[in-house]
Structure 1
Amino acid sequence: MGNTSARKSDEKEQGNQKIAAQDGEALRQLEPISTDVSYRPPDMSPIRRRAVMFALCMTLLLGALDVTIIATALPTITSTLHATASEYAWVGSAYTLSSTASTPVWAKMSDIFGRKSTIMVAAAIFMVGSLIAALAKTIKVLIAGRTVQGLGGGGSLVLVTILIGDIFKLEDRAKYYGMTGIVWGVASAVGPVLGGVFTQTIGWRWCFFINLPFDGVALLVLFFTLKVETPKEAFITGLRELDWIGFALIIGGTICFLYGLETGAGGVMPWDSAQVICLVLFGVIILALFVCWEACFARNPVIPFRIFKKATNIASFALSCLHSFVFISYDYFLPLYFQVVLGFRPIIAGVTIFALLIPLTMMTMLGGLFTRRTGNYIIPIFFGSSMMTLGNGLFINFQTDTQWAKIIVFQMITGFGAGVLFQSPMISIQTHTHQRDMAAAMSAFSFLRSLFSSMSIVIGTVLLQHNLGGGGLTGGDLHSGHETVTAPATDKGNYISALRVMWAFFTAVSGCMLFAALFIKPKPTKPGAATGDD
């Protein structure tokens, strides 16, 4: 009897110890994030490193290019395939929606199934989507292909960012993130021009066919050269670990919100229509439910909210979102000014933006090298925010007869600022985030940047149309297939007034970047040391 009681007591004690151990592990998961500057990536030879970066940059370029290359080809595509107005909007929106919504899903899958296999699956899906779009005989098949492209592109874009954090030391990442910033800048400027050239020469289908050989080369290079050790689970176990409710909420909320905004801004339906209001409202509600689920109930969250516990991380995320919000406006509204007010042809308007692209490319690389050598990302952040604010303010002075010198210099000033902000906030986030949360942090980084980019075009268009009294040209009119879309002389003054209001708004947003920069703290001096924010 006594032995039985003793045995039960021992079993109870062992059970308590097991529960205590589990509780202790749970508590350790809730500890403040510490900087993991002691992380050591896998060793790679210089040749292997260059090959991996070539493949990653190629993958990134193709995914980024498909956001913009379709713009100048869209009128020809929709005319050939007999698309309606709503289908016209869907050709562009399908890629953006599926890419943005799938970003957090890909990042979480890479945590469970491994980085290499996940990025190769994403690149393969992008390839399949490109082939479907290139061979499409109907507009519905093209939209389906663009949706599949977006699914693969979203995975490729976020996994390039995550992999650079995995395979390079913290002090070297600025250099390689600088390369990705250059790729983004090139894609933004070259995409519309390339789409126009393809459409006028070998045909619009080459906007999609062009992806196949280059994506195939990138896949082969990654297969043979990418060696990265990340935790992975068995397939069935991994599927059970996925936060399916979180995935459903973030995908559903993002699609509702962005599609509602694009439907209203694209003129498919009026802003006060029940469909637009319900889409936007339900999107916000579903995204709010996602935040509640992830913060309170998810066992293996898509985005662990502990990455937002530090004020410096919140400020870095905010600055990056604002940068994305402002930067995308250059790709959309500067060509609008050049074509509608100054009367430039589409290709000339695209080439004119090189005045912004060249300094942007140069400063992206120089900013990365500066951060790599000094470990200081604070100076590039303040420099970039100041120059972008100044450049946007100078855009307010654009007239109907602006001199070439002003057009070039104003864009150069803006490019100097925008370039250094592609990687500096990202390095700040990685410096203050534990390695185990790196994929989630980069997922949130990519997702929020994509979300704010989509919102920027909508808000800018609404401001422009409101100040034009509800009339005037929109982005769709710019690519209507006409050689020029110059506004009548009597309307140019109205466009200038409306554009001034819009640039004043973007100048104010740029000023908010300076405010956010005040809360970003420098790199900790000791490995593993927290920066003091809880």
Structure 2
Amino acid sequence: MATSESAVSKLNDGPNRISSNSSSKACTEIKSTTSKTAAPTLARVGSVAAIESTKSHYKSGGNDEDDEDDRDEKHVGNTQSIFSSMSLQRRILTMSALSLSIFIGSLEQTIVAGSLPAIAEHFKALGSINWIATSFLLASTAMQPLYGRLSDIFGRIETLIAGLLVFLAGAAVSGAASSMGMLIGGRVVQGLGASALISLVMVIVSEISIERERAKLTSVIAAIWAASSVLGPVLGGVFTQSDGGWRWVFYFSLPVGGLAGIFIVIFLRLPRPRDSFWKKLRRIDFAGMVIMVGGMVMVLLALSYAGKDYPWSSALVLCLLIFGIVVLGIFVLVEWKIPKEPIVPLRLFKNRNVGLALTQQIFMGATLFGPTFYIPLYFSIVKNSSSIVAGLYLLPYQLPISILAISTGFFVSKTGRYREPLWVGSAILTAGLCLLILFDENVTTGKAIGILIVSGIGMGILMQPVLLCLQTAILTRDIATGTTLFVAMRSLGGSVGLAVFQTVQQNRLNALLAPLYKKYAEHKSIIDATVQNQAAIYYDNVPSDLREELVQVFVKALRSVFYSMIPFGALVFILSLFLKHIPLRTKMAKTQANSDYKNDDTAGV
């Protein structure tokens, strides 16, 4: 008995390591199972040894300081992943379907930016225009943590397709909207579905691949996510100026999403949960779901209002923020004590890499969305660029992100090292953010492109290794929950960052505009108009001397925003120094969760 306990307590694979004694037992089970069918699936890899090693890991606090050396040699698992067992044609079609899904999901986060003026003019509702973007962000960010657990219960493909259908329904409603209220409602529905697309694609890619192989696949998905987020405003402007008008900003997703759904259903096969629908429904932590979504919505609303519609010190913002944090605290207590299958298992945080990686994602979200929003604004003010041209100035930032994300993924896959790219990438990112303060009203295009390339290189190197660092620190059965939390923290970080940057910009503008109000008292209405719409700086009724001073004021305010981005980049770098290296698995892991699934012999064909 003592010998058995000793063997079980030595974990073979980071959080999932299995002892050599347990491995021999598991091998016997695997052989008897795999002899029945040649196609490898995730459902075939459950074993008592893995379950016991899981328990041992959590009892020991998830600390693997002493187990780093006994990794792959003793690991029990299938050397061939679901993805590698597919034919080349099926691999291409599967990745195409997943790529299209995350493309349209992330594209809708930013595509409306180029069409907001046209929509406001169409509905004569300038005061409600911000809710077109805010409603989508609220719904998608609040729901993202839920989809991991829902996909554990109902199945990955089933949950992804359900999310895709919800997303497409929201796109159809938004495109056909006859009022601003109908459009905002459609955007809420779109956001609910988009959160499934963005998060579950990452989960599925992680589940069909081994960690070494996963580095390459997730890097491609990360590159597409970054590219679509940046290209959104440009495509939005193009659609708005086309014959179809702004409605095609939403209709565009229908054929693309439909094609992605067909490919997913036909070509991607994963294990399916074996319980009946009603049993699955009873497994859902409804109380935790309601509490978490309520808390997230309150926090996100506070961040959306703060510094823009209301000051941070206003009663509304403070109440939403305080009550939201309190409700999220209650959610943690509920998850700790009550549900058998919590939405967010607290065992995740027993490994320090998990907490560090999720916290790092908050700051990364701010540094990713900050330049994406404020660089086009800078060029629209200084160069009087249209929304399309201003968006194109983001290409020197976006292209390095996509290229370096893929390159880094292949580097990690080849070497098995991910901490070093995190250090290098975060250092370059911080340097690039520091260089943004060189943007003034006289910056040359070449200089601006060079600065943006530096920031893009740093962000591109960071995109993939952070997720891999988190996934190596958790049990395979918690991959879905951990990955969806990861995506949610990035979205939350974007909201936090934009709220901070907007406050910095507004406060700086107020201070710099005060002298202009006195100097040009007769043009107060013109100055007010430029605050609401920066394009008004170049209206014909603006005197040339006032226009010149207004440009200087707005550029100084934007430079203050760029200064405020630097601490976020520095925190990303500092946190990366404390991440612990856990060697990457080279075999498919065994998980207790697999016992809840039934085999699909066509998987991986």
TM surpasses 0.5: yes
**Do residues 227 (structure 1) and 269 (structure 2) align?**
yes
Change (3 A) 1:68 1:75: same
Q: CA deviation at 1:523?
A: 2.9
Could you tell me whether the CA contact under 8 Å between 1:76 and 1:481 is conserved in 2?
Answer: no
Q: CA deviation at 1:316?
A: 2.1
Paired position in structure 2 for 1:523: 582
Q: Distance in 2 between matches of 1:480 and 1:454?
A: 27
Q: Distance in 2 between matches of 1:502 and 1:281?
A: 26
Could you tell me whether the CA contact under 8 Å between 1:171 and 1:375 is conserved in 2?
Answer: yes
Could you tell me whether the CA contact under 8 Å between 2:132 and 2:184 is conserved in 1?
Answer: yes
Paired position in structure 2 for 1:463: 504
Q: Distance in 1 between matches of 2:584 and 2:92?
A: 30
Of 119, 141, 164, which residue of structure 2 is paired with 1:77?
119
Letter in 2 for 1:428: C
Of 374, 384, 387, which residue of structure 2 is paired with 1:343?
384
Letter in 1 for 2:287: I
Q: CA deviation at 1:458?
A: 0.9
Identity of aligned residues (%): 29
Residue range with higher mean Cα deviation, 33-42 or 106-115:
33-42
Paired position in structure 1 for 2:300: 258
Of 337, 345, 354, which residue of structure 2 is paired with 1:296?
337
Change (3 A) 1:406 1:332: same
Paired position in structure 1 for 2:4: none
Residue by residue over 1:335-366, the C-alpha shift from the partner in whole angstroms, topping out at 9 and shown as x without a partner, is: 12111234333222111111111222111111
Q: Distance in 1 between matches of 2:228 and 2:538?
A: 24
**Do residues 66 (structure 1) and 108 (structure 2) align?**
yes
Alignment of 1:183-202 (within 5 A): 183-201=224-242, 202=244
Of 214, 217, 240, which residue of structure 2 is paired with 1:173?
214
Letter in 2 for 1:228: L
Q: CA deviation at 1:212?
A: 0.6
Of 532, 544, 561, which residue of structure 2 is paired with 1:502?
561
Paired position in structure 2 for 1:116: 157
Q: Distance in 2 between matches of 1:481 and 1:228?
A: 56
Paired position in structure 2 for 1:12: none
Paired position in structure 2 for 1:441: 482
Segments of structure 2 that go 5 or more residues without pairing to the other structure are: 1-51, 514-527, 588-605
Change (3 A) 1:332 1:353: same
**Do residues 128 (structure 1) and 169 (structure 2) align?**
yes
Q: CA deviation at 1:275?
A: 2.5
Letter in 2 for 1:252: G
Paired position in structure 1 for 2:137: 96
Q: CA deviation at 1:295?
A: 2.6
Secondary structure class of the residue paired with 1:519: coil
Residue by residue over 1:370-408, the C-alpha shift from the partner in whole angstroms, topping out at 9 and shown as x without a partner, is: 011111111211111011011011111112101222101
Q: CA deviation at 1:230?
A: 5.2
Could you tell me whether the CA contact under 8 Å between 1:385 and 1:514 is conserved in 2?
Answer: yes
Letter in 2 for 1:47: Q
Change (3 A) 1:355 1:370: same
Q: Distance in 2 between matches of 1:407 and 1:132?
A: 40
Could you tell me whether the CA contact under 8 Å between 2:430 and 2:566 is conserved in 1?
Answer: yes
Q: Distance in 1 between matches of 2:362 and 2:312?
A: 25
Q: Distance in 2 between matches of 1:75 and 1:443?
A: 33
Residue by residue over 1:79-135, the C-alpha shift from the partner in whole angstroms, topping out at 9 and shown as x without a partner, is: 2123251x2121111111111111122211100011011101110111111111111
Paired position in structure 1 for 2:533: 477
Q: Distance in 1 between matches of 2:232 and 2:462?
A: 21
Q: CA deviation at 1:455?
A: 1.1
Letter in 2 for 1:494: V
Letter in 1 for 2:268: L
Could you tell me whether the CA contact under 8 Å between 2:175 and 2:247 is conserved in 1?
Answer: yes
Change (3 A) 1:53 1:475: farther
Letter in 1 for 2:134: S
Of 572, 580, 584, which residue of structure 2 is paired with 1:513?
572
Could you tell me whether the CA contact under 8 Å between 1:75 and 1:479 is conserved in 2?
Answer: no
Alignment of 1:365-384 (within 5 A): 365-384=406-425
Of 301, 321, 326, which residue of structure 2 is paired with 1:280?
321
Of 297, 309, 314, which residue of structure 1 is paired with 2:350?
309
Change (3 A) 1:240 1:525: closer
Q: Distance in 2 between matches of 1:383 and 1:199?
A: 40
Residue by residue over 1:183-228, the C-alpha shift from the partner in whole angstroms, topping out at 9 and shown as x without a partner, is: 1222122111111111111210001111111111011000111111
Q: Distance in 2 between matches of 1:141 and 1:425?
A: 38
Could you tell me whether the CA contact under 8 Å between 2:141 and 2:491 is conserved in 1?
Answer: yes
Could you tell me whether the CA contact under 8 Å between 2:303 and 2:499 is conserved in 1?
Answer: yes
- Cα RMSD after superposing both structures: 2.7
Letter in 2 for 1:205: R
**Do residues 385 (structure 1) and 441 (structure 2) align?**
no
Residue range with higher mean Cα deviation, 435-444 or 333-342:
333-342
Q: CA deviation at 1:474?
A: 9.2
Residue range with higher mean Cα deviation, 293-302 or 414-423:
293-302
Q: Distance in 2 between matches of 1:525 and 1:343?
A: 49
Could you tell me whether the CA contact under 8 Å between 2:405 and 2:462 is conserved in 1?
Answer: yes
Segments of structure 1 that go 5 or more residues without pairing to the other structure are: 1-23, 529-534
Alignment of 1:356-371 (within 5 A): 356-371=397-412
Letter in 2 for 1:127: L
Letter in 2 for 1:522: H
Paired position in structure 2 for 1:152: 193
Change (3 A) 1:46 1:122: same
Letter in 2 for 1:477: N
Alignment of 1:481-496 (within 5 A): 488-496=547-555
Of 236, 258, 270, which residue of structure 2 is paired with 1:216?
258
Q: CA deviation at 1:173?
A: 0.9
Q: How many residues align?
A: 504
Q: CA deviation at 1:78?
A: 2.2
Paired position in structure 1 for 2:32: none
Change (3 A) 1:203 1:151: same
Could you tell me whether the CA contact under 8 Å between 1:111 and 1:230 is conserved in 2?
Answer: no
Could you tell me whether the CA contact under 8 Å between 1:66 and 1:191 is conserved in 2?
Answer: yes
Could you tell me whether the CA contact under 8 Å between 2:212 and 2:586 is conserved in 1?
Answer: no
Change (3 A) 1:519 1:495: same
Could you tell me whether the CA contact under 8 Å between 1:383 and 1:417 is conserved in 2?
Answer: yes
Could you tell me whether the CA contact under 8 Å between 2:298 and 2:323 is conserved in 1?
Answer: yes
